[in-house]
C-alpha cells in the first residue's frame, strides 16, 4: 500500500470507498467515526 499511496491516507480511503460496496450499517459507522473526529478537531481548535 505504501508503494501506491505513500503516507497519504486520504487517497487510500477515497479509493476504498469508491470501489467497495458498503451496507447502510457500514456507512452509518463511518459517519459516526467522522462525526467524532470532527468534534475532536473542533475542541482542539478552541484551545
Length of the chain measured in residues: 47
CA–CA gap between residue 41 and residue 43 (Å, rounded) = 5
Domain spans in the chain, listed from the N-terminal domain onward: 22-47
Over its C-alpha atoms, the chain yields an Rg (Å, rounded) of: 14
Question: What is the residue-level pLDDT of the chain in tens, covering all 47 positions?
Answer: 667 667 787 888 898 899 999 999 999 999 999 999 999 999 999 88
pLDDT score, position 1? 61
Amino acid at each position: 500500500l505504501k508503494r501506491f499511496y505513500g503516507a497519504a491516507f486520504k487517497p487510500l480511503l477515497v479509493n476504498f470507498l469508491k470501489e467497495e460496496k458498503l451496507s447502510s450499517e457500514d456507512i452509518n459507522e463511518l459517519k459516526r467515526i467522522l462525526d467524532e473526529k470532527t468534534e475532536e478537531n473542533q475542541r482542539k481548535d478552541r484551545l
